[in-house]
Amino acid sequence: MYWVENRKIVKYTIDEIKEAYVDIYKSVFDDYDYEGNCPSIVYVCFENDEFVGFLSGYIQSQNTWYLQRGGFTKSEQGRFLNLARYRAGIDEIHKEWLGIMTLIKNTDISALKLSLGLNFRIIGTRMDTGNNLWVELLHIRGD
Protein backbone atom coordinates (compact mmCIF):
# COMPACT_ATOMS: atom_id res chain seq x y z
CA MET A 1 0.00 0.00 0.00
CA TYR A 2 1.03 3.57 -0.59
CA TRP A 3 2.28 5.26 2.58
CA VAL A 4 3.05 8.92 3.19
CA GLU A 5 5.87 9.61 5.65
CA ASN A 6 4.34 12.86 6.81
CA ARG A 7 0.88 11.48 7.62
CA LYS A 8 -0.47 12.46 11.00
CA ILE A 9 -3.83 11.49 12.48
CA VAL A 10 -4.92 13.66 15.38
CA LYS A 11 -7.72 12.74 17.78
CA TYR A 12 -9.93 15.59 19.01
CA THR A 13 -12.97 15.67 21.24
CA ILE A 14 -15.88 17.54 19.67
CA ASP A 15 -15.44 20.25 22.32
CA GLU A 16 -11.85 20.83 21.15
CA ILE A 17 -12.80 21.07 17.48
CA LYS A 18 -16.45 22.18 17.52
CA GLU A 19 -15.84 25.49 15.72
CA ALA A 20 -13.76 23.87 12.96
CA TYR A 21 -15.92 20.74 12.59
CA VAL A 22 -18.49 22.39 10.32
CA ASP A 23 -15.74 23.42 7.87
CA ILE A 24 -14.07 19.99 8.10
CA TYR A 25 -17.40 18.31 7.37
CA LYS A 26 -18.28 20.64 4.48
CA SER A 27 -14.89 20.05 2.86
CA VAL A 28 -15.93 16.41 2.41
CA PHE A 29 -19.75 16.45 2.15
CA ASP A 30 -22.09 18.88 0.42
CA ASP A 31 -24.76 18.64 3.09
CA TYR A 32 -24.36 19.64 6.71
CA ASP A 33 -27.00 18.59 9.15
CA TYR A 34 -26.71 18.42 12.91
CA GLU A 35 -29.88 16.36 13.07
CA GLY A 36 -29.22 13.07 14.77
CA ASN A 37 -26.22 12.27 16.89
CA CYS A 38 -23.37 14.70 17.18
CA PRO A 39 -19.96 12.99 17.17
CA SER A 40 -18.00 13.03 20.40
CA ILE A 41 -14.62 12.24 18.82
CA VAL A 42 -13.09 13.36 15.52
CA TYR A 43 -9.93 11.87 13.99
CA VAL A 44 -8.39 14.32 11.51
CA CYS A 45 -5.85 13.17 8.91
CA PHE A 46 -3.08 15.50 7.74
CA GLU A 47 -0.44 14.83 5.11
CA ASN A 48 2.44 17.25 4.82
CA ASP A 49 0.50 19.47 7.25
CA GLU A 50 -2.48 19.63 4.87
CA PHE A 51 -5.93 18.37 5.89
CA VAL A 52 -7.00 15.43 3.69
CA GLY A 53 -9.84 13.72 5.59
CA PHE A 54 -11.54 12.77 8.82
CA LEU A 55 -13.41 10.07 10.73
CA SER A 56 -15.95 11.02 13.38
CA GLY A 57 -18.13 9.09 15.76
CA TYR A 58 -18.88 8.18 19.33
CA ILE A 59 -18.76 5.38 21.88
CA GLN A 60 -21.15 2.58 20.86
CA SER A 61 -20.52 0.25 23.80
CA GLN A 62 -17.80 -0.67 26.27
CA ASN A 63 -15.55 -2.11 23.52
CA THR A 64 -16.96 -0.59 20.33
CA TRP A 65 -16.66 2.79 18.67
CA TYR A 66 -19.35 3.86 16.18
CA LEU A 67 -17.93 5.39 13.00
CA GLN A 68 -20.61 7.92 12.11
CA ARG A 69 -19.07 9.95 9.29
CA GLY A 70 -15.82 10.03 7.43
CA GLY A 71 -14.29 10.83 4.13
CA PHE A 72 -11.70 12.71 2.17
CA THR A 73 -11.65 16.28 0.96
CA LYS A 74 -13.24 16.80 -2.43
CA SER A 75 -9.82 17.25 -4.07
CA GLU A 76 -8.66 13.90 -2.60
CA GLN A 77 -11.75 11.79 -3.30
CA GLY A 78 -11.36 8.86 -5.66
CA ARG A 79 -7.61 8.47 -5.15
CA PHE A 80 -6.12 5.00 -4.77
CA LEU A 81 -4.13 6.00 -1.68
CA ASN A 82 -7.40 6.57 0.21
CA LEU A 83 -7.38 2.86 1.05
CA ALA A 84 -4.11 3.37 2.94
CA ARG A 85 -5.46 6.53 4.55
CA TYR A 86 -8.63 4.78 5.68
CA ARG A 87 -6.54 1.87 7.01
CA ALA A 88 -4.36 4.32 8.97
CA GLY A 89 -7.48 5.88 10.50
CA ILE A 90 -8.93 2.49 11.41
CA ASP A 91 -5.60 1.46 12.97
CA GLU A 92 -5.56 4.67 15.01
CA ILE A 93 -9.09 4.04 16.31
CA HIS A 94 -8.17 0.44 17.15
CA LYS A 95 -5.44 1.67 19.50
CA GLU A 96 -8.30 2.41 21.87
CA TRP A 97 -11.25 0.30 20.70
CA LEU A 98 -11.57 -3.43 20.00
CA GLY A 99 -14.45 -2.99 17.53
CA ILE A 100 -15.54 -0.35 15.06
CA MET A 101 -19.14 -0.43 13.87
CA THR A 102 -20.60 1.63 11.04
CA LEU A 103 -23.63 1.90 8.77
CA ILE A 104 -23.29 2.60 5.04
CA LYS A 105 -26.18 3.32 2.72
CA ASN A 106 -26.64 0.34 0.40
CA THR A 107 -26.34 2.60 -2.67
CA ASP A 108 -22.91 3.96 -1.62
CA ILE A 109 -20.98 1.28 -3.48
CA SER A 110 -17.58 3.02 -3.22
CA ALA A 111 -17.82 3.28 0.59
CA LEU A 112 -18.95 -0.33 0.83
CA LYS A 113 -16.05 -1.50 -1.36
CA LEU A 114 -13.57 0.55 0.65
CA SER A 115 -14.80 -0.88 3.96
CA LEU A 116 -15.03 -4.45 2.69
CA GLY A 117 -11.51 -4.05 1.29
CA LEU A 118 -10.33 -3.40 4.85
CA ASN A 119 -12.05 -6.53 6.17
CA PHE A 120 -15.13 -4.93 7.69
CA ARG A 121 -17.72 -7.68 8.06
CA ILE A 122 -21.37 -7.28 7.12
CA ILE A 123 -23.35 -8.05 10.27
CA GLY A 124 -26.80 -6.90 9.21
CA THR A 125 -29.01 -4.37 7.47
CA ARG A 126 -31.37 -1.69 8.72
CA MET A 127 -34.20 0.26 7.15
CA ASP A 128 -34.68 3.83 8.35
CA THR A 129 -37.94 5.76 8.52
CA GLY A 130 -37.25 7.24 5.09
CA ASN A 131 -37.11 3.73 3.59
CA ASN A 132 -33.33 3.91 3.08
CA LEU A 133 -31.52 0.60 3.44
CA TRP A 134 -28.28 0.65 5.43
CA VAL A 135 -25.62 -2.05 5.60
CA GLU A 136 -24.25 -2.59 9.12
CA LEU A 137 -20.54 -3.42 9.23
CA LEU A 138 -18.10 -4.34 12.00
CA HIS A 139 -14.31 -4.30 12.09
CA ILE A 140 -12.46 -6.14 14.86
CA ARG A 141 -8.90 -5.19 15.87
CA GLY A 142 -6.44 -7.49 14.11
CA ASP A 143 -8.58 -8.08 11.00
The CATH number of residue 28's host domain is 3.40.630.30
Q: What is the pTM of this model?
A: 0.86
Read off the pLDDT of residues 10-40 as tens digits, 9 standing for 90 and up.
999 999 988 888 888 888 887 766 555 679 9
Q: Examine residue 116 and state whether it is found in any structural domain, yes or no.
A: no
Q: What is the DSSP letter of 39?
A: P
Residues present in the chain in total: 143
Residue 138 reports pLDDT greater than 90: yes
Nearest to 142 by CA among 91, 102, 89: 91
Give the total number of structural domains in the chain: 1
Q: Examine residue 134 and state whether it is found in any structural domain, yes or no.
A: no
Read off the pLDDT of residues 38-96 as tens digits, 9 standing for 90 and up.
799 999 999 888 888 999 999 999 999 999 988 888 877 776 777 888 899 999 999 99
Nearest to 50 by CA among 3, 8, 1: 8
Burial of 50 (0-12, 13-18, 19+ CB in 10 A): exposed
Q: Examine residue 29 and state whether it is found in any structural domain, yes or no.
A: yes
Domain membership of residue 80 as a residue range:
7-101
Given a contact cutoff of 8 angstroms between Cβ atoms, the answer to whether 118 and 139 are in contact is yes
Q: Examine residue 124 and state whether it is found in any structural domain, yes or no.
A: no
What are the two backbone dihedrals, phi and then psi, of residue 103, each rounded to the nearest 5 degrees? -120, 135
Alpha-carbon span 60 to 79, nearest angstrom = 30
Q: Examine residue 73 and state whether it is found in any structural domain, yes or no.
A: yes
